[in-house]
Chain A
Amino acid sequence: MMANNVKKGNAFTENPIVRAIGTQKIVVVAVLIILFGFFCIASPAFRQYSTILSIMDYSYYTTLMAIGVTFCLITGGVDLSIGTGIICYGLLGGFLINHKGMPVAVGLLVTLLAALVIGTLNGALVAILELPPFIATLCTMMICRGLGSIATGGLSQNWPPAGSEQGWFRSIFKLDLGTIKLPLGFVWVLLLVILMSVVLNKTKVGRYIIAIGSNKEATRLSGVNVIKYQMSAYIISGFFAGLGAIAYAATFQAIAPGTGAGLELDAIGGAIIGGTSMNGGSGSVAGTLLGVFIMSMLKTGLPFIGLQANWQQIITGLVLIVAVYIDVLKNKKMQ
């Protein structure tokens, strides 16, 4: 009845190092390395520094969205508004710069503020009005799409190009030293992943977000303000969508109204591949980073071996099935 009553896993999963990092993360890292190795061998063009740089470039905004949405997923919810959201926020910021003559700094600030407003709205709908997260954020997803178009009168917005006077913000993510371009954005993303890992595992917000996802009613009956903490997950998601919008604006030449739907699925897919459970209660920010990398690696790598975008969709879908099935198996074992 005592210690021997406790379930034992196999030798691999009980290894202290494996336990500390998590089985799924080790698997994901292995897959990542294998994929990278495979593409490098299969295609000489893939080995180029510029290719690696572009993989990174295109991963920033997805990674940032994914970090935020991880928190919603851990509460047992989801945030679908982030895809059209980043387009909407980027359009608002760009519009102020292009048509109202505002400095870029103001544009960036407005982009973030808009994201926080939508994030807070999502949180209120889910935590206070108790709408199902899927529906609530589906609605704000539509609202964001419409809002971006209306605010800009349906015009695409070009944020100031690199090298121009106002284009300094682009070097936040890619530092052009003339001879070499440095993926500075990767440093920020890494720092944010570390920061948010600490928030998730070491602060009250994180602890209660995990607790709510595991058993909301037991958490409430422990005297925890579940409304506040559930809401904060959506605000975090909104904030990171705002950061994602800035990354998107810095990466692409133009932002087109009416686009963005589907980008959230890349972010959510990345989080799931990284081991975050759709049922809530467990997940990790580092895992999310790795998951998104697998997604972008497939996206960028497959064309190099002659498989076009449609194939990439199919393969991503298959990878997701495997990832979710692992989650299902884990949950079965828990019961």
Chain B
Amino acid sequence: MGEVILTMKGIDKSFPGVHALDHVDLEVRKGEVHALMGENGAGKSTLMKVLTGIYSKDEGTITYEGREIEFTNPREAQDAGIVIVHQELNMMGHLTVAQNIFIGREPMKGGLIDDGKMNEEARKLFGMLNIEIDPTEKMSRLTVGKQQMCEIAKAISHDAKVIVFDEPSAALTEAEIEELFKIIRDLRAKEMGIVYISHRMDEIKVITDRVTVMRDGGYVGTLVTAESTKDDIINMMVGRVIYEDPKTQSTVKPGAPVVLKVEHLNAGKMVQDVSFELHKGEILGFSGLMGAGRTETARALFGADPKESGEIYVNGEKVEIKTPMDAVKCGIGYLSEDRKRFGIVTAKTVAENTTMACLEEYMKGIFIDSRRENEVAQKYVDDLKTKTPGVDQLVVNLSGGNQQKVVIAKWLAKNCDILIFDEPTRGIDVGAKSEIYHLMNELVAEGKSIIMISSEMTEILRMSDRIVVMCEGKKTGEIDIAEATQENIMHAATLRK
């Protein structure tokens, strides 16, 4: 490790209602790979966005190469030599590799783009990185791994001195990760400062020199990787005081029947051989880090995405679920994590959304019986305490929590006994959150069963009777609430099988 190239000190950033960064420090040296770790929502991405000028900071200083700096947009940061290799690659698939690398700064000759020079330059870059990619190949024809190499090449072409890798290994195969590490070591040898964001504990041990841990927008501490254990890091990541009391004991009645049994479910890379059971009156928590395959499992189970294999039993009977229609017939309802895209029809009224799944029950002959439709919608508005001026109100005008209640009403009106809540409180304010929790507890008390996917550890520990933990498409743990701790969940969530 060489001298310090980048220091972020006391960085503070608030959004309306959220204290996203609370006096965070980060120091990166030349020739260092510095891991930035933390749970989902710990503030890692926000910190990097402040660094590259996507967000402005409220407080704190950033010192880069001995000068205090403040970028107002990523272009400025890039010109100064700080670049991010994003997790989601920003590539134009129909353009060639070289065209992608030099987009916005194409070498020109006589008013026309000088493709020959561009390809030549790209070839030089790949030579420096010791990788074999044809600059004239269409970007979309490369593997994700190779596309990432191109992003790195693009970063280097900007004379980068600090490169931030945002979960670079998430989409890569083992072999590709090896190649990536080789390149990162090369860059380290060239005295670059590297920030490496990842959830994968074993990678952190292999590739990084130091680790900075963040939690709930705050700075926890910095360790030297070689001198610390995996447990040290996990403890730093989760060591928060839980303000809401976790459940200590399962509230499922002993001997409650199994209402849903999933066996060896497979659907692409994100759902590999997942099996679990759900009991009557149970809240089964699904925990895991971003990209663990929990939503994909739910969608495959619900028939929203095709599955390759696996068996599903509802109340002991084997069922074929190929489409959401089949799932709904089996009494399964799915509340998507992305309400606006998949949950509600925002431009329609509360009543229309409520009867969306069960319209046939509110028909008079071939006509929709508006009176009864409004009645049932009103009933659920009252039951769920949805705040709306009326059932003829457009859903788009309601707040997030109330929109969520409309989606719940949709599945209750259909009389679904198995409800999949995917991130039920995402984007919902604190008051509405506890109402949703209360509602879920009431539902299971009435004998409904709930699968709850959540990225919030406190939510998992507060609501679940049992917890399934996933990591990279595989089930890596199943923990009864009586034995569950943040530590053993996080262990399972970072377990690569």
Contact = CB atoms under 8 A, between A and B. Distances in A.
A316 interface: no
Contacts of B356: 211, 219, 222, 224
B325 A202 contact: no
A127 to B, nearest CB: 13
Contacts, number: 88
Name the residue in B345, B366, B388, B398 with the highest tally of chain A Cβ atoms < 10 Å from its Cβ: B345
Name the residue in B323, B360, B396 with the highest tally of chain A Cβ atoms < 10 Å from its Cβ: B323
Contacts of B243: none
B367 interface: yes
B389 A3 contact: yes
Interface string B382-416: 00000111000100111100000000001000100
Contacts of B347: 214-215, 281-282, 334
Interface stretch (B26-34, B173-181, B334-342): B334-342
A232 to B, nearest CB: 13
Name the residue in A198, A222, A224 with the highest tally of chain B Cβ atoms < 10 Å from its Cβ: A222
A6 B388 CA distance: 8
A249 to B, nearest CB: 31
Contacts of B304: 220-221
A220 B346 CA distance: 15
Contacts of B142: none
B268 interface: no
B5 to A, nearest CB: 42
A288 to B, nearest CB: 19
B357 A1 contact: no
B397 A7 contact: yes
B179 to A, nearest CB: 37
A334 B396 CA distance: 8
Contacts of B368: 202-204, 207
B54 interface: no
Given A3-B387, A204-B360, A215 B367 contact: no
A223 B325 CA distance: 4
A281 to B, nearest CB: 5
A179 interface: no
A222 B344 CA distance: 9
B348 A222 contact: no
B333 to A, nearest CB: 8
Nearest to A5: B399
9 contacts: A1-B399, A3-B389, A215-B345, A218-B336, A221-B302, A221-B324, A221-B336, A221-B343, A334-B347
Contacts of A223: 324-325, 327-329, 357, 414
A222 B352 contact: no
Nearest to B414: A223
Nearest to B364: A202
Interface string B343-373: 1111110001000110110010011101000
A195 B29 CA distance: 74
Tier of interface size on chain B = 35 or more
Contacts of B336: 218, 221
Interface residues of A, number: 28
A202 B366 CA distance: 8
Interface in B140-158: none
B410 A222 contact: yes
A229 B317 CA distance: 30
A207 B352 contact: yes
A215 B344 contact: yes
Given A2-B387, A207-B368, A334-B347, A221 B334 contact: yes
A130 interface: no
A6 B389 contact: yes
Contacts of B387: 1-3, 5
Contacts of A6: 388-389, 393, 397-398
Contacts of B363: 204
Given A6-B393, A202-B368, A203-B368, A224 B344 contact: no
B342 A221 contact: yes
A210 B348 CA distance: 9
A18 to B, nearest CB: 15
Contacts of A219: 345, 356
Please give me the 5 A-B residue pairs with the lowest Cβ-Cβ distance, nearest first.
A223-B328, A222-B356, A214-B345, A222-B357, A3-B389
A202 B371 CA distance: 12
Contacts of B366: 203-204
Nearest to B356: A222
